Amino acid sequence: MAMWIRSAFWIGAPHNGQDEAFAVAINDELVPAMRLFPGVSAVRALWPRRREDAPPAIHCQVIVEFGSDPDMQRMLASTERLALRPRVKAAVELFNGSISHIDYEAT
């Protein structure tokens, strides 16, 4: 059975003076809360430190792992995810850019 990964790309940069507050929001609030979502196997934030070959301006990538697609669908429909939306919105307000998601099937 294939596992699934949902990846959130924060493309851009925090507003001036908000780097630390943004990192705290991701590392200390969002990632720990997401680890408790139903169906989630693991969550981690990736912070680029070196770039090669002119990649997009990804400031942070959040990786959420699931044992199956139904597990991912359960998380997406969960009340826990809905309850976290205000905290996500607060992080978005610290950020100048966009957020996009890609769901991967991993074999």
Question: Is residue 97 pLDDT above 90, yes or no?
Answer: yes
Average pLDDT over every residue of 46-62: 96
Question: Is residue 21 pLDDT above 80, yes or no?
Answer: yes
4 beta partners: 66, 105
Average pLDDT value for the chain? 97
Burial profile 67-82: b = 16 or more Cβ within 10 angstroms, e = fewer: eeeebbebbeeeeebe
Strand arrangement of the beta sheet that strand 95-106 belongs to: 40-46, 58-66, 3-14, 95-106
pLDDT value, residue 1: 72
Three-state secondary structure call for residue 91: helix
What pTM value is reported for the model? 0.93
Domain span including residue 68: 3-106
CATH (domain of 16):
3.30.70.100
Count of structural domains within the chain: 1
Question: Is residue 27 pLDDT above 80, yes or no?
Answer: yes
Query: Token match 């997009």: residue?
Result: 56
